[in-house]
Structure 1
Amino acid sequence: MSTDAYEADVVVVGGGVIGLTTAIVLAERGRRVRVWAKEPSEQTTSAVAGALCWPYHIEPAELVGAWAVRSLQEYEALAGDPGATGVRRVAGVQADTPLDFMPVWTEALPGAREATADELPEGYGQGLRATVPLIDMRAHLGYLTRRLLAAGGAVEARAVSGFDEAARVAPVVVNCSGLGARELVPDASVEPVRGQLVVVENPGIEEWFAAPNSPTEITYMLPQPFGVVLGGTSQPGSWDRTADPATARAIVERCARVHPALAKARVLEHRVGLRPVRPAVRIEREVLVGGGVLVHNYGHGGAGVTVAWGCAEAAAELA
C-alpha cells in the first residue's frame, strides 16, 4: 500500500513503555512513526512501576519466556549507561521460586542459582538468586522518548475514541493502549489490577528482594537511585488510584520484617498504578473496515517492562 497520501507510516496509540518501545522498533527500521498518547509518559502506569525485570502475572507462558529474554538482552546493553537509560544490573533474591520455574528465562540470567540459607531472610526456606535489570522508570521513559525522537518519531498528546481516526493519518495503527483497550477495542477481558507502593529513603539496602505472600499481596524492596521502592499489592478489579494509608503501613511492616531498618526509614512518596491485566497478551493483526491495518499489542499485566522489547518486535513484524 502506498503511504504517499498519509502523514505517517504508523500511528502507535499509547505512550507507556509498550507504546514507546514499539514505536522505537518501527522508527529504527525506517518507518515514519507517531505516538498518540492520552497522557504524558510520566503519568502512565509505566511511570509508577517498581520495574524489576522479571516475568510476573503474564501469559501465555509458551511465549513469555522468549519475549522476556529478548528484552533482557536489550536491558543488559542499556545498563552500560545507567545515567542516561535508567537501567542498572542489580543482584537479589526471588523467594519461594524454584530455579526451573521458567527455564528459558532462568537459563538466560547470568549466574542464576538457588539461594543459600544465609542469603535468605528469616522465614524463607528457598529462593532464586540472580542479577537482573532494575529500572528507574521515570528516567527510562525519558530515555525512550529521546531515542524515539532521535529516530525521527514524534510523540503527540492526543486521545482517541476509535482507531479509524488514526487510520486516516497512517495506513498502520498499533494499539498499545494498555488498560484503555478495555473501552477502545472494546475488550472486556482487560481489567485493572491495583498495585500500591511506598518509596522510602534507603537505609543501606543494595540488593533487591521479592516474595509472593498471597494472591493480593507481595513483599518486595527495590533499591533505586531515588530511594527504596517497597511493595506491594495485587488487587484485581480495583480502579482506585488513591494511596490507602493502612495498606501503606502494612507494606512497610512486611518489608521491615526482612530489613528492620526500613521500619524507621523516612517515607518519600506513595504510588498507585493499575496493571492492565488480560488472560493472555494480545499481539494480533486485523484489517480495519476502511482497509487499514490494526496491530494489537496490549494486556501485559505486571510484566510490561519485562517483555516490552520482545513484544515490540513481535508487533512490528505484523505491522
Structure 2
Amino acid sequence: MSRLILAPMEGLADDILRDVLTRAGGYDWCVTEFVRVSTTVLPPSAFTRVSPELTRASRTRAGTPVRVQLLGSDPDLLAANAAQVARLKPAGIDLNFGCPAPLVNRKGGGAALLEEPGLLHQIAMAVRAAVPEEIPVTAKMRLGIRDTHRALDCARALEQGGVQELVVHARTKADGYRPPARWEWVAAIRGAVRLPVIANGEVWTLADYRAIRAATGCDDVMLGRGAVADPLLARRIRAGGAADPAADWPILKEMIADFWTQVQQKVLPTQSPGRLKQWLGMMRRAHPQAEQLFKALRPLRTAQEVSPVLTRHFATSGG
C-alpha cells in the first residue's frame, strides 16, 4: 500500500503543526525540522527541543512515528550525534541533503553537498554504523545544486552507504521551490537504485498525487507545502475524494483553534500571531475561508488582539 510522509519544513512544520496535521489522519510517518550538527556532540535537550515527541516514544499524539533529521557535513560528527539521538529511541534518523537555504549551504550543509557523492557515501556509512540496526536511517536529497548531472551518483552513493530509503525532492537547489518539479528525474533515480524511493515536490492536490505517482513510478509520496496549504490533503488522498470547502471548513476551524491554543503555550504573545498568519497565508491557496480569516488577522500584532477576532470569525463563518 502506498505510504504518505509529512515532510520536514524548516521554520514551518514544528512539533505543533506536526501534531495538528497528523491527527487529521493519513500519514505513515513524519520528519522533524533539521538539527544542525557543526562543531560538537549535542546534548539530548537539543534533540528533544526540535522533537518533543522523543519523550513520547517518538510519536505524535495521533501515534504517527517521528524521524529526527540531522544536517551537517562531517561524517564522524554526524555519526556521533546520530548515536546520541539513537539513545533517545527515535522512530528513525534522516539525513538532510536537500535544504536550499543560502546560510545552510554556505556552511557546507544541505543541498551544498550534492557536488560530492563521495562525501555523501562517507556520511551515510558513518551514521549507519553508529546507529542500532533496528533504527531506520534514511535521507532526503534534491537533484543537484545547479543541474542534475550528479543526481544518479548521489543516490547510488547514499544507497551504498547504507541508507535504507531515499526521499527525492524533484528540484535542484537553484530551482528553489519554483514549479514545475522535475518528476522525470525521480523516475530516473528510482531506476538507478534498489532501495525504496519516495517522491516529493509540487503535490498540492489529489490530482497532483496521482500524477507524481504515474510520472515517477514511486508508490510512496512525501507531502510538504501542499499538506500545509490543505491540512486535509493526506486524508483526502486516502479517501480518493476531491476537496469540498463547505464540508472541510468546520474541520479546519477545529484544527486552527487547536493550533492557536498550542502556539500560545509555546511562544511569546507577540510571536504567536505570526505563526498563525504564516499557516493561514499558505492555507489561502486551497481554502477561501482561510483568506477571509487571514485578512481579518493580518493587522493584529498580539495574542490578546487575535483571540477575540478568531472567536468571532469562527462563530459567524458557518460549520
- Relative contact order, CA 8 A, sep 6+: which one is greater? 1
Which one has a larger percent helix, Structure 1 or Structure 2?
A: 2
TM-score (normalised: structure 1): 0.30
TM-score (normalised: structure 2): 0.30
